[in-house]
Chains A and B, each alone.
Chain A
Amino acid sequence: MNKPFAITLNPGSSLANRTGSWRTERPVYVDRLPPCNNQCPAGEDIQGWLFHAESGNYEKAWQHLTKDNPFPAIMGRVCYHTCEGACNRAKLDEAVGINSVERFLGDEAIKRGWKLVVPTAETGKHILIVGAGPSGMSAAYHLRRLGHRVTVYEAGPMLGGMMRFGIPKYRLPRDVLDAEMQRVIDLGVEVKLNAKVDNILETMQTGKFDAAFLAVGAHIGKRATIPAGAVSKIVDAVSVLRSMEHEDKPMLGRRVVVYGGGNTAIDVARTAKRMGAEPIIVYRRTRDKMPAHDFEVEEALQEGVMIKWLSTIKHAGDSSITVEKMELDANGFPQPTGEFETLEADSVVLALGQDVDLGLLNGVPGLEVTDGVVKVDANMMTGHAGIFAGGDMVPTERNITVAVGHGKKAARHIDAWLKGEKYEAPAKHQLATFERLNTWYYSDAPKTVRPMLDVIRRQSTFEEVQGGLDETNALFEARRCLSCGNCFECDNCYGVCPDNAVIKLGPGKRFEFNYDYCKGCGLCVAECPCGAINMEPENI
């Protein structure tokens, strides 16, 4: 090269200077476990399906969601969405309306007729499922997707279990329930209705089943011994709710006393209100001790349901009851005061919890029953090999989401057991905590409030109380997701690196570090909105 005066070296690029050697710490891309996913009893990848919903690809979001839970329209109505309680956004403004977006996706799927993924290969195994409730139908779905033949035996005349016989219409319209049940059947799941299993081993043998999943639920209302007159009308809440599904509606009279403080007590009181009665809930403790969810108590109060706190029923007559006032002792337990009061009552509905009908398990060797529920191991298998159980009939928190989660978990273990293997759940990522986020980058956006039905119509009809989102506000709500701990391709790391040491791989492919030049300043870590980069010490 012909060089100018006093120049001895050829010009070169600074790329020859590998500044990566300065580094004492290196940034590494990670995926962390968002708190919502961590919380979900059904094991949904919430952040994952919201990611697709954010771009308006609702079908892909729905497909992603239904990998874990086949019932988003049901969940979007009756799930107690503890995910929202764990949501990091709650520390910023308000939690993301995960439940409302889930319902939107579920309703969209029903409206547009989206189909679940059909299994590609058959395994030749046949599995018996007892009970067509949330747990049984969830297991049926997951086992069917794994290619197994599935037959569901249901004692009742319709599918849905507690979703139909325990949850009133105003919370879960029946066409929604039917649509999501039908979709599972469309995968090739066989169902036998009005087919009560009396002896599990016999049924398994006759039908040549390879394994069984029991999910019969807890349908027997607990009774309390209340001294009562001959003509007094005492019924249990489960029977009342169940009979709402039949032609013969329950005759409760005008003044209905509901005894108990759980969600079932609230459901039955609100149902009675809609039938023109004047329900009053009698509960022995205070509102903050009530097991029912606060928003349900609030909605019941709005509708005119009355609640008598700190009271127990001492005697039930033909048109009145006697209650005793209670007071809480130092440990928070109610103690009698000796003060009595008389309330008018045409009927008393007991909502004191439910028991499991374990009749079908008589004589099964190895099976253990403790406190009226069936013991299962970590794989959801009972003491009898090949018989698994889940939902309300095993020791657990009783709600639909937990039951759906049991169905999925059991399906995986049944599948592994049939192959003579053991299912190992993949290791969980580290939790994505709020402290890891750089919230500066998120736009201010308050939560979208779902419309509620007018109180007048809530008091007299069984129309659905809570409305849904439409396409525009569902998109808005989905985009409120902070994507905790998972890259959402905001390009911040790519932009803020003073050394061009971040390589952008293109849409959907995320990024890569160029460790030849990364000096380890940590700017990308500090400026990653969602905390998806970790700083790790370099081996020097």
Chain B
Amino acid sequence: MSFQPVKFYQTGTFTVGNRLLEPDQRSVQANMERTNSLNSGHRACQGCGEALGARYAIDAAMHATNKQLIAANATGCLEVFSTPYPETSWQIPWIHSLFGNAAAVATGIAAAMKVKRKKGLVGDVRVVAQGGDGGTTDIGFGCLSGMFERNDDVLYICYDNGGYMNTGVQRSSATPPAARTATTMPVGPEPGNPFGQGKFVPAIAMAHEIPYVATATVADLRDLEHKVKKAMTFRGARYIHILVPCPLGWGAASRDTMKLSRLAKETGLFPVFEAQYGEITNSTKIRRLLPVEEYLRPQKRYAHLFGKTPAVETIARLQALADKNIRRYALLDKEAN
């Protein structure tokens, strides 16, 4: 656990808020005065995990910086659905330039703010860059790596939904193995994304030995908010990777967004942890361990695994990936089990 959970029955810190908690124990999202950085009227699909993740993360960053925040956005769903010209859903200073350069734009803003601050024109304005997995792990990866390497004072947040969703669900380097997209093998003995070497950007970010790297899901709000706030206590390059289910691209019911992100964590397929200067400092333990099938079954992108002859071997390989995560990131609480 990355933060001190309140051992408080009946819901403790599992729910967004709780009328029985002290005000300082409540989440940013429970606050009637939250920024609502990403406001109503945006054109994201019903049950969009990314819209939710973005509001969670940016509201927390606004809270942590006392609203002294500028965001740079990569091209992607988040940018498209929030800012169709001339409307915007953003209630913060926000800029979009190109698909691949969000990290570089943010670097520039950070530099400009540093100069302005020295001249006494602004206070301590912090910078966030954000994008989807396409803009982060594929197209913007060079700029991102450069930002890490220079240790620019930017928090980069990646909302990972495992594909290029707004253009019609194409594969990205973050598409998980066996998941079907518009551009993966549609037929044959093993449809879906091939089992490759994987490209897990949080681990690559750690390899840059930047001050802070973390992963989170939209299902664990307290954990997510804690990580964003903690990231804001560091200077230099920081990276947070948030798993955000996509009802459209994953072929899931819009009401299941939270359930799926919870299952991703509880099966071990998506490890939730934090690292400082290249070393893992904490992992969020699995509360009720479940087999990967529980996560795969409700999603149509894995439907080919559960046909007349279930793809037992493929499911086993996915389970092996989960088991490896559990070992590598110590996702089970040894004392509790």
Tell me which residues across on chain B come within 8 A of A482, comparing CB atoms.
10
**Which of A22, A480, A501 has a CB less than 8 Å from the CB of B9?**
A480
**Of residues A18, A440, A488, A497, which shows the largest number of chain B Cβ atoms within 10 Å of its Cβ?**
A440
Tell me which residues across on chain A come within 8 A of B88, comparing CB atoms.
11-14
A205 within 8 A of B: no
If A498-B48, A499-B51, A522-B254 touch, whether A19 touches B43 (CB-CB below 8 Å) is yes
Number of A residues, CB within 8 Å of B: 53
Instruction: Determine, out of A246-254, A271-279, A308-316, A525-533, the stretch whose residues face the partner at the interface.
Output: A525-533
B42 within 8 A of A: yes
A417 within 8 A of B: no
Q: Are B16 and A491 in contact (CB under 8 A)?
A: yes
B307 within 8 A of A: no
Q: Are B40 and A12 in contact (CB under 8 A)?
A: no
Smallest CB separation, A136 vs chain B (Å): 38
Interface of chain B: mostly helix, strand, loop or mixed:
loop
**Which of A11, A15, A54 has a CB less than 8 Å from the CB of B39?**
A15
Within 8 A of B (CB), among A475-520: 476, 479-483, 488-492, 494-501, 504, 506-507, 514, 516-517, 519-520
Q: Are B43 and A17 in contact (CB under 8 A)?
A: yes
Q: Are A520 and B46 in contact (CB under 8 A)?
A: yes
Q: Are B39 and A13 in contact (CB under 8 A)?
A: yes
**Which of B10, B30, B38, B253 has a CB less than 8 Å from the CB of A443?**
B10
Q: Are A523 and B39 in contact (CB under 8 A)?
A: no
With CB as the reference atom, state the residue of chain A lying closest to B256.
A526
Smallest CB separation, B69 vs chain A (Å): 18
Q: Are B14 and A507 in contact (CB under 8 A)?
A: no
**Which of B16, B47, B87 has a CB less than 8 Å from the CB of A14?**
B87
Query: B254-272 interface mask toward A, CB cutoff 8 Å, 1 = contact, 0 = none?
Result: 1111110010000000000
Give Cα distance in the complex from A22 to B254, angstroms. Answer: 13
Q: Are B42 and A499 in contact (CB under 8 A)?
A: yes
Give Cα distance in the complex from A497 to B34, angstroms. Answer: 13
With CB as the reference atom, state the residue of chain A lying closest to B91.
A13
With CB as the reference atom, state the residue of chain A lying closest to B28.
A495
Smallest CB separation, A33 vs chain B (Å): 19
Within 8 A of A (CB), among B1-19: 7-12, 14-19
Q: Are A521 and B10 in contact (CB under 8 A)?
A: no
Within 8 A of A (CB), among B38-65: 38-44, 46-49, 51-52, 55
Q: Are A491 and B29 in contact (CB under 8 A)?
A: yes
Q: Are B15 and A22 in contact (CB under 8 A)?
A: no
Tell me which residues across on chain A come within 8 A of B253, comparing CB atoms.
522
Q: Are A440 and B262 in contact (CB under 8 A)?
A: yes
A445 within 8 A of B: yes
Give Cα distance in the complex from A12 to B87, angstroms. Answer: 4
Total number of residue pairs linking A and B with CB closer than 8 Å: 160
Smallest CB separation, B246 vs chain A (Å): 12
Interface of chain A: mostly helix, strand, loop or mixed:
loop
Smallest CB separation, B37 vs chain A (Å): 10
A440-B14, A492-B15 known; 17 other A-B pairs, CB under 8 Å?
A12-B86, A14-B82, A19-B41, A442-B11, A443-B12, A483-B10, A490-B18, A491-B16, A491-B29, A496-B258, A497-B52, A507-B19, A514-B40, A521-B247, A521-B254, A522-B253, A523-B254
Give Cα distance in the complex from A495 to B14, angstroms. Answer: 12
Tell me which residues across on chain B come within 8 A of A507, comparing CB atoms.
19
Tell me which residues across on chain A come within 8 A of B17, comparing CB atoms.
489-492, 494-495
Tell me which residues across on chain A come within 8 A of B15, comparing CB atoms.
441, 490-492, 495, 529
Give Cα distance in the complex from A19 to B89, angstroms. Answer: 12
**Of residues A442, A443, A527, which shows the largest number of chain B Cβ atoms within 10 Å of its Cβ?**
A443
Q: Are A15 and B27 in contact (CB under 8 A)?
A: no
**Which of A54, A492, A499 has a CB less than 8 Å from the CB of B20?**
A54
If A13-B88, A491-B29 touch, whether A496 touches B52 (CB-CB below 8 Å) is yes
Q: Are A481 and B10 in contact (CB under 8 A)?
A: yes
Query: A339-364 interface mask toward B, CB cutoff 8 Å, 1 = contact, 0 = none?
Result: 00000000000000000000000000
| 19 contacts across the A-B interface (CB closer than 8 A) | A12-B86, A12-B88, A14-B43, A14-B88, A19-B42, A19-B43, A55-B20, A443-B7, A445-B9, A490-B11, A492-B15, A492-B17, A494-B29, A496-B52, A499-B51, A516-B40, A521-B254, A523-B254, A529-B11
Q: Are A15 and B11 in contact (CB under 8 A)?
A: no
B32 within 8 A of A: yes
Give Cα distance in the complex from A489 to B85, angstroms. Answer: 38
Give Cα distance in the complex from A79 to B42, angstroms. Answer: 55
If A522-B253, A522-B255 touch, whether A495 touches B9 (CB-CB below 8 Å) is no
Q: Are A521 and B40 in contact (CB under 8 A)?
A: no
Q: Are B39 and A506 in contact (CB under 8 A)?
A: no
**Which of A481, A483, A496, A501 has a CB less than 8 Å from the CB of B16?**
A496
Q: Are B7 and A14 in contact (CB under 8 A)?
A: no
Q: Are B254 and A14 in contact (CB under 8 A)?
A: no
Q: Are B87 and A523 in contact (CB under 8 A)?
A: no
B68 within 8 A of A: no
Smallest CB separation, A104 vs chain B (Å): 16
With CB as the reference atom, state the residue of chain A lying closest to B47.
A521
Query: A273-301 interface mask toward B, CB cutoff 8 Å, 1 = contact, 0 = none?
Result: 00000000000000000000000000000
Give Cα distance in the complex from A445 to B20, angstroms. Answer: 17
B319 within 8 A of A: no
B221 within 8 A of A: yes
Tell me which residues across on chain A come within 8 A of B85, comparing CB atoms.
9
Q: Are B29 and A54 in contact (CB under 8 A)?
A: no
Tell me which residues across on chain B come within 8 A of A539, comparing CB atoms.
none
Smallest CB separation, A17 vs chain B (Å): 4
**Which of A11, A13, A22, A494 has a CB less than 8 Å from the CB of B46?**
A22
**Of residues B19, B30, B221, which shows the largest number of chain A Cβ atoms within 10 Å of its Cβ?**
B19
Tell me which residues across on chain A come within 8 A of B18, comparing CB atoms.
489-491
Q: Are A443 and B29 in contact (CB under 8 A)?
A: no
Q: Are A480 and B10 in contact (CB under 8 A)?
A: yes
A10 within 8 A of B: yes
Tell me which residues across on chain A come within 8 A of B151, comparing CB atoms.
none
If A14-B39, A522-B253, A526-B259 touch, whether A498 touches B51 (CB-CB below 8 Å) is yes
Tell me which residues across on chain B come within 8 A of A11, comparing CB atoms.
86-88
**Which of A54, A440, A522 has a CB less than 8 Å from the CB of B10?**
A54
